[in-house]
C-alpha cells in the first residue's frame, strides 16, 4: 500500500482569498486588518501541532470537552471524545475538541444553577470564536446539557447533543440502590434514626457505583431523554449507561452525523422547532421527569424566540399519562429503561401524541426513525397509554394568589392524601433560617402544617434545589414521611413528596410569598390546579406597607451580572440579555 505524499505546501487559494472560504479552518478569522494574513497565521500555528493542509481542508467539527476531576458524571469523557473523533474522521471531517466549563451538582457552590448561564455563555462564545462547521456537545450532569443547548441555540450552528450516560446501580445489603432517590431515602431514614452511622456510611459507598449521571429520573436523565425527543440527540442516545459499549458507539455515530449535518447545513433551528419542543414536553410528562426541565426548556426555547406557556403545558399534562416506571415516580433505574428498548419504546407508545414529522439530527424525521427502530418487544418498564403508571402527566402547573405567574408540583411523586390540603403555614425566611430552626425541638410544627421557604428564587439565591425541605426531625422521628412544602426554589428531579416549587414571582422581587407569615393558612388543590393563600387584601396591603422588599443586588463580578439580569423561573431563569431579540410565539402552541 502506498501512503499519500505528505505536503507542507500552503493552501494558496484559501490563503489569498480567505473570504472565498467561510467554512472549515478559514471561518471566523481573527481580526488583524488583513484577512489573508489572518488565515496565513492561523494555519502556521495549527501546523505547529502537526496538521497537514489536507487535514485542514476538511469540515471542522468542534467537540466540547467538559471533563473535570470535579465531575464524575463526566468521568467517561476521554473515551467519548476518542469515539466522537473516530466518527468524525470516518465521515471525512476534522475533529477539534476544546474545553468549556464543567458543572457537577455537588461541587458547585452555592448551586450549579448559579453557573448554568455562565456555562451557556462560555459555550456560545467558544462556538462563535473558534472555526467550526458543526459541533458535538458532550454534557451530562444536570446543568451542562441545558447550558450547552442554550449556547448552541444562540449560535445557530449544526449541533449534536451527546450525553455521557447514566451510572450503574449499586447494592447495599442486597438491596439495589442508585443516586439519588435512594440517597434521599436513606438520609431520611438516618435523620429519623431508623439506621445508624455505620449503615449510612456503608450506603454512601454504594449509591454511585460508576461514573455517569444519576440513575433515576433526575434532571440529567430527563434532559438526556428530552434531547433525544427534541431530535438534537441521536435516536437511541438517551439511555445507554456511561460505561457501556452502546454509549461508545453512540459517541462514534454522533461524530459521523455532525459531519453530515455540516455538509447539509442542518442548523440547530431546523431541529429545535415548536413541534420538537412539544414532543420533548410530552416526554417530560410521560417519564415523570424532573421539574427542573421546565426551567431549562423555557431557557432553551427563549434563546430561539419562544416563550413557555405554562397553562398550555398543564393542558398537555392532563392528557399525557406517566408511562415510564422509573424512580422516583416508579421503581426502575435508567439501565432497566435501556434494557427495555430506551426511548424508542417510550416514543413508540406515545406516537399518537407526537409530531412525527419533526426533523432529527440524522436528517430523517422522528417518525422515520421510529419506523426504522422496528416493532419493539415485550418489556415491563414502559407502560401503555391504556394502562399507565399515573393517569396524568408527571407535572401539574398551579396558579393562585400565592403564585400569580405560576408554580409547579410533581404530582406523580407526591402523596395523594396531601394533594387536596389546607394547613397552617410554618415559615422560614431563607435557607439559613431553615437550617437554623428546622430540627429545633422548640419548633412549633405539626404534620398537617404547610412548610414555607422564602428567598430561594432566581434573584435571591439562584434557585438552589432547597425546595425539598426536610421533614422536621421531631416529626420524622414520629414517622412523618411527607408534608406540603412551598417555595420559590427548585428541587432535585430525584426527590419526591408533595412539594410546590418555582413559585413566581419570587419573594425577593415582591411576589406575594414575601409576606406570608407563620400562622397564615394555605390551601393546595392539585385537582383545581391552585395554590391559595387565605389572606385578605387589606391584610396583604398592610404587610406590604409595613415591610417593603429590598431587591437583592451584588457589587461586582458575575454575581452583579446575575442579580441584575436574571429572569424569573417562567422565563427559564436566563439572563435578560441572552434571550432572542425576535419573539416567535409561545410553546406549547395551544
User: By the criterion CB under 6 A, which residues form the site for ligand FES?
Assistant: 73, 104-105, 141-142, 179, 213-214, 218, 220
- Residue (75 or 512) nearer to ligand FES, CB: 75
- Report the distance separating Cα 5 and Cα 512, nearest Å: 73
- Residue (304 or 501) nearer to ligand FES, CB: 501
What Rg do the C-alpha atoms of the chain give, in angstroms? 25
Exposure letters 371-394 (e unless 16+ CB within 10 A, then b) = eebeeeeeeebbbeeeebbbebbb
- Report the distance separating Cα 176 and Cα 503, nearest Å: 35
Question: DSSP secondary-structure letter at 399?
Answer: E
- Residue 360 CB coordination number (10 Å): 24
- Residue (165 or 472) nearer to ligand FES, CB: 165
Provide, rounded to whole angstroms, the least separation between the CB of residue 397 and ligand FES. 25
- Residue 279 CB coordination number (10 Å): 25
Provide, rounded to whole angstroms, the least separation between the CB of residue 45 and ligand FES. 36
Are the CB atoms for 227 and 238 separated by under 8 Å? yes
- Residue (360 or 494) nearer to ligand FES, CB: 494
Using alpha carbons, select from 213, 210, 225, 220 the residue that is nearest to residue 168: 210
Report cis status (omega within 30 of 0) of the bond before 110.
yes
- Residue (73 or 209) nearer to ligand FES, CB: 73
Provide, rounded to whole angstroms, the least separation between the CB of residue 53 and ligand FES. 42
Provide, rounded to whole angstroms, the least separation between the CB of residue 255 and ligand FES. 23
- Report the distance separating Cα 427 and Cα 439, nearest Å: 14
Residue 191, Cβ density class (10 Å: 0-12 exposed, 13-18 middle, ≥19 buried): middle
What residues form DSSP beta bridges with 502?
none
- Residue (217 or 403) nearer to ligand FES, CB: 217
- Report the distance separating Cα 485 and Cα 469, nearest Å: 7
- Residue (214 or 299) nearer to ligand FES, CB: 214
- Residue (216 or 359) nearer to ligand FES, CB: 216
Provide, rounded to whole angstroms, the least separation between the CB of residue 73 and ligand FES. 3
Are the CB atoms for 573 and 460 separated by under 8 Å? no
- Report the distance separating Cα 580 and Cα 305, nearest Å: 5
Provide, rounded to whole angstroms, the least separation between the CB of residue 146 and ligand FES. 12
- Report the distance separating Cα 307 and Cα 277, nearest Å: 11
Write the DSSP string, 403-414: EEEEEEEEGGGS
Provide, rounded to whole angstroms, the least separation between the CB of residue 314 and ligand FES. 27
Provide, rounded to whole angstroms, the least separation between the CB of residue 24 and ligand FES. 35
- Residue (15 or 108) nearer to ligand FES, CB: 108
Contacts of 443 (CB under 8 A, 6+ apart): 426, 437, 472, 474
Are the CB atoms for 67 and 84 separated by under 8 Å? no
Provide, rounded to whole angstroms, the least separation between the CB of residue 213 and ligand FES. 4
- Residue 154 CB coordination number (10 Å): 22
Provide, rounded to whole angstroms, the least separation between the CB of residue 223 and ligand FES. 9
Provide, rounded to whole angstroms, the least separation between the CB of residue 64 and ligand FES. 16
What residues form DSSP beta bridges with 533?
522
- Residue (208 or 460) nearer to ligand FES, CB: 208
Question: DSSP secondary-structure letter at 471?
Answer: P
- Residue (163 or 299) nearer to ligand FES, CB: 163
Amino acid at each position: 500500500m502506498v501512503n499519500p505524499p505528505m505536503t507542507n505546501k500552503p493552501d494558496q487559494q484559501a490563503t489569498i482569498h480567505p473570504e472565498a472560504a467561510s467554512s472549515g479552518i478559514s471561518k471566523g478569522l481573527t481580526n488583524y486588518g488583513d484577512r489573508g494574513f489572518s488565515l496565513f497565521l492561523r494555519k502556521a500555528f495549527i501546523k505547529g501541532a502537526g496538521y497537514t493542509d489536507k487535514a485542514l481542508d476538511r469540515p471542522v467539527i468542534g467537540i466540547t470537552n467538559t471533563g473535570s476531576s470535579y465531575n464524575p458524571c463526566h468521568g467517561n469523557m476521554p473515551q467519548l471524545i476518542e469515539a466522537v473523533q473516530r466518527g468524525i474522521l470516518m465521515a471525512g471531517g476534522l475533529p477539534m475538541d476544546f474545553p468549556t466549563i464543567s458543572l457537577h451538582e455537588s461541587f458547585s457552590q452555592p448551586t450549579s444553577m448559579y453557573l448554568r448561564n455562565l456555562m451557556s455563555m462560555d459555550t456560545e462564545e467558544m462556538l462563535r470564536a473558534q472555526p467550526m462547521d458543526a459541533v458535538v456537545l458532550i454534557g451530562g450532569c444536570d446543568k451542562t446539557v441545558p447550558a450547552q443547548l442554550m449556547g448552541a441555540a444562540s449560535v445557530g450552528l449544526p449541533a449534536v447533543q451527546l450525553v455521557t450516560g447514566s451510572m450503574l446501580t449499586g447494592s447495599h445489603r442486597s438491596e439495589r440502590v442508585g443516586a439519588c432517590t435512594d440517597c434521599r431515602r436513606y438520609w431520611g431514614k438516618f435523620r429519623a434514626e431508623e439506621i445508624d452511622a455505620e449503615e449510612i456510611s456503608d450506603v454512601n459507598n454504594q449509591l454511585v457505583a460508576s461514573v455517569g449521571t444519576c440513575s433515576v429520573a433526575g434532571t440529567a436523565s430527563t434532559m438526556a431523554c428530552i434531547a433525544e425527543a427534541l431530535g438534537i440527540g441521536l435516536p437511541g442516545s438517551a439511555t445507554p449507561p456511561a460505561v457501556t459499549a452502546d454509549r461508545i458507539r453512540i459517541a462514534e455515530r454522533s461524530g459521523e452525523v455532525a459531519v453530515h449535518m455540516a455538509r447539509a447545513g442542518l442548523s440547530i433551528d431546523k431541529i429545535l422547532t415548536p413541534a420538537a419542543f412539544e414532543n420533548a414536553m410530552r416526554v417530560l410528562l410521560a417519564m415523570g421527569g424532573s421539574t427542573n426541565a421546565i426551567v431549562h426548556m423555557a431557557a432553551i426555547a427563549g434563546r430561539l424566540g419562544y416563550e413557555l406557556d405554562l397553562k398550555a403545558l398543564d393542558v398537555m399534562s392532563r392528557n399525557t399519562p406517566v408511562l415510564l416506571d422509573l424512580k422516583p415516580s416508579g421503581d426502575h433505574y435508567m439501565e432497566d429503561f435501556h434494557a427495555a428498548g430506551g426511548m424508542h419504546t417510550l416514543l413508540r407508545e406515545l406516537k399518537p401524541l407526537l409530531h412525527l414529522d419533526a426533523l432529527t439530527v440524522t436528517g430523517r424525521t422522528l417518525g422515520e426513525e421510529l419506523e426504522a427502530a422496528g416493532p419493539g418487544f415485550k418489556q415491563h418498564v414502559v407502560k401503555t397509554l391504556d394502562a399507565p403508571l399515573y393517569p396524568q402527566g408527571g407535572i401539574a402547573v398551579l396558579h393562585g394568589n400565592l403564585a400569580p405567574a405560576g408554580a409547579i408540583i410533581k404530582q406523580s411523586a407526591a402523596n395523594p392524601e396531601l394533594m387536596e390540603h389546607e394547613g397552617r403555614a410554618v415559615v422560614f425566611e431563607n435557607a439559613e433560617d431553615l437550617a437554623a430552626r428546622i430540627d429545633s425541638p422548640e419548633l412549633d410544627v405539626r404534620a398537617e402544617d404547610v412548610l414555607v421557604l422564602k428567598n430561594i428564587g432566581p434573584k435571591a439565591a439562584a434557585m438552589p434545589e432547597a425546595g425539598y425541605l426536610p421533614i422536621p426531625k421531631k416529626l420524622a422521628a414520629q414517622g412523618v414521611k411527607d408534608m406540603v412544602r412551598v417555595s420559590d426554589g427548585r428541587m432535585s428531579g430525584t426527590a419526591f413528596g408533595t412539594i410546590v416549587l418555582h413559585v413566581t414571582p419570587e419573594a425577593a422581587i415582591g411576589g406575594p410569598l414575601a409576606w406570608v407569615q407563620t400562622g397564615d393558612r394555605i390551601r393546595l388543590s392539585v385537582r383545581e390546579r391552585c395554590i391559595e393563600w387565605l389572606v385578605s387584601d387589606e391584610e396583604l396591603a398592610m404587610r406590604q406597607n409595613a415591610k417593603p422588599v429590598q431587591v437583592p443586588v451584588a457589587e461586582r463580578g458575575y454575581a452583579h451580572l446575575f442579580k441584575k439580569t436574571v429572569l424569573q423561573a417562567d422565563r427559564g431563569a436566563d439572563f435578560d440579555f441572552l434571550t432572542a431579540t425576535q419573539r416567535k410565539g409561545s410553546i406549547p402552541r395551544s
